[in-house]
Chain A
Amino acid sequence: MTAAALHAPLRRRSRLGRKIRIAAGVFACIVFLFPVFWMVLSSFKEQRDIFTVPPTLVFTPTLETYVSYMQRADISRRLINTVIVATGSGLLSIVAGAMAGYALARIRLRGAGTIGVLILLSRGVPPIALAVPMFLVARSLGVTDMHITLILAYCTFLIPYVMWLMRGFFLALPKELEESAMIDGCSRFGAFFKIIVPISMPGLLSTMIFSMILAWEELLFALVLTNRYASTIPVAIAGIAGDTVNGANWGALTAVGTITVIPVVVFALLVQKWLIQGLADGATKG
């Protein structure tokens, strides 16, 4: 009784503190979402509604920018290119990365420790140190401006990422799974593809989706390795944002930006639980 009485004012204070905490958290969330909201809102404005002081909140929405810009700057082709490259590099890196991650987690390899350290270090390689030689080699082989070149280039950062995440994932699985399968006559490959892969499907899918998001957003390699046919959306956005000759084309910027962001947001929210888990693992185990 006395203890409860002693704690009463403290608890009331902490209840108020909790309310303040919640309010501050929601406020922070709104602040962080505002730029995205402002982009989407502006993309439905006409030019004269964009350039106003004070900023317009009420206006007649129009799809004008979308329609005119989709026709003008081969945005649709770049969109298709981005989808091809993101899907291709996502698939390639999940297959190669998951197999290698499994090898690191489960198969005793001589030098596995060294490989682990190399993977960690490879995450520190600045892409610009790769972009210069990649460009020169691609040019001499005549493979610039091709999807496959970009897909392979993206694998340089996606495969180490997938390897590391999946390694942690496989380490957490009980070892008896594939051991019993291998006693039943499965080869190591059989055990991996028939037992491990189906069990790990959710982890594999979410890792792949996250890889695809990373590929979808990549700018440097796309700038360097493509120019017309395989060029991606981020290159277009960099072009619009940096266009100082025609002045600020905010309509185009917001419209193309919205098109780029919406599918990624949908995918990310679909796999949010796995995404958060993956991030936490990537940070603590990597």
Chain B
Amino acid sequence: MSTVTATGVRAARARAWTKLADVASRWAFMGPAAVILGAMLAYPIFYTIEISFSRFDLMTFGAVEWIGFENYAHVLDDYRFWSSMKVTLVYLVFALPLQIVLGFGIAFLINADWRGRGTVRALFIIPMVVAPVVAGGIWRMILDPLWGIMNWAIGLAGFGPLDWFGDPNLAMAAIVIIDTWRWTPFVVLIATAALLSLPRDIFEAAEIDGAGWWSMLWSITLPLLVPIIAATFVVRWLGAVKMFDIALAATYGGPGGATNVINLFIYEEAFRSLRFAESAAMAVIVLVLTMVLTGLFLLGTRKLEQRY
């Protein structure tokens, strides 16, 4: 600070002024981010909450009248909301563990010490940066019941053609496959970095003691990895609850709502059916649920970190 040259000769007022300027300059760093996030993140959330408790007038396009929990009651009565929540839950329960297990498994495979290791790892970046909407599109082509290469390959193995987008269970499987394809590389990259950062001497010591690779994996590698696995799970969870693009491009929620994840359902209700108040109520429910679960997962991660 250039004002420091005053060296305390000035009056207390000047000192107070300096202190104020100092506080201001500290907070100035926060300024741009705080303004943008306040206007674009905090305000919309409050506005959503307001709409969710109001009657929405499509003439003026605004919330007109406070009606309490009426919108929420409508939503909770709507079987489509519940079925959409169930679809989202099924997707999460299958996709997340699959991606974590596959990701760490593949990372273990490609971490074998050889010349091509760096190249293979770099190539895993490619699926990760394919836009999710493009991923949905390509896989729609690959899984096409008539012309898709997947059914042709399954046919070679002697299995009948699968109607990927006509059968509700298969459509859900397709969504999980596409999402897993898009996101496993992300887990692989985190896991390879984590595996490389493990202390080598423990493994050498265990090898000298005659431990096989299985017991080393089970009693050294995995316990050491627990915090990272938990953290990766939280990051993937935060991404997966936002699932929208892939479902929209691959199945558009079909057949008959079998893959209509909650974000897609809310989007449809708001922007196709113009039910903004109910959509806002659903968005608030999802927001609260996500926050609570995220908080619980973060707490769980801390606990695991302390234990291992």
Q: Which residues of A contact B (CB under 8 A)?
A: 10, 14, 17-18, 21-22, 24-26, 28-29, 32-33, 35-36, 38-39, 42, 50-55, 92, 95-97, 99-100, 102-103, 107-109, 115, 120-137, 139-140, 152-153, 155-156, 159-160, 163, 182, 185, 187-189, 192, 213, 216-217, 219-220, 223-224, 233-234, 237-238, 240-242, 248, 250, 253-254, 257, 260-261, 264-265, 268-269, 272, 275-277, 279-280, 282-284, 286
Instruction: Enumerate B23-54 residues with CB–CB distance to A below 8 Å.
Output: 25-34, 36-37, 39-41, 43-45, 47-48, 51
Of A33, A152, A277, A284, the contact of B126 (CB 8 Å cutoff)? A33
Of A127, A140, A213, A250, the contact of B129 (CB 8 Å cutoff)? A213
Instruction: Enumerate B257-302 residues with CB–CB distance to A below 8 Å.
Output: 263, 266-267, 270-271, 276, 279-280, 283-284, 286-287, 290-291, 294-295, 298
Instruction: Enumerate B228-255 residues with CB–CB distance to A below 8 Å.
Output: 228, 231-232, 235, 238, 241-242, 244-245, 248-250, 252
User: B71 in the interface, Cβ–Cβ < 8 Å?
Assistant: no
Asked if B294 and A132 sit within 8 Å, CB to CB, the answer is no
For residue A20, give the distance in angstroms from its CB to the closest CB of chain B: 9
Please name 7 further chain A to chain B contacts, defined as beta carbons within 8 Å, in addition to the given A216-B131, A220-B263, A242-B249, sorted by A numbering.
A128-B279, A133-B47, A217-B132, A241-B250, A269-B126, A280-B189, A283-B190
Asked if B44 and A219 sit within 8 Å, CB to CB, the answer is no
Of A25, A100, A132, A282, the contact of B51 (CB 8 Å cutoff)? A132
Residues of chain A with a CB closer than 8 A to B192's CB: 276
Residues of chain B with a CB closer than 8 A to A242's CB: 248-249, 252
User: B198 in the interface, Cβ–Cβ < 8 Å?
Assistant: no
Asked if A189 and B131 sit within 8 Å, CB to CB, the answer is no
For the complex, give the distance between the alpha carbons of A264 and B133 in Å.
14
Residues of chain B with a CB closer than 8 A to A25's CB: 106, 109-110, 112, 120
Given contact pairs A109-B26, A137-B44, A52 touches B147 in the complex (Cβ within 8 A): yes
Secondary structure call for the A interface: helix
Asked if B270 and A132 sit within 8 Å, CB to CB, the answer is yes
Asked if B47 and A282 sit within 8 Å, CB to CB, the answer is no
User: B193 in the interface, Cβ–Cβ < 8 Å?
Assistant: yes
Residues of chain A with a CB closer than 8 A to B271's CB: 135, 223-224
Of A29, A108, A115, A185, the contact of B110 (CB 8 Å cutoff)? A29
User: Closest chain B residue to A259 by CB distance?
Assistant: B134
Of B44, B184, B231, the contact of A284 (CB 8 Å cutoff)? B231
Asked if A257 and B138 sit within 8 Å, CB to CB, the answer is yes
Asked if A28 and B106 sit within 8 Å, CB to CB, the answer is yes
User: B256 in the interface, Cβ–Cβ < 8 Å?
Assistant: no
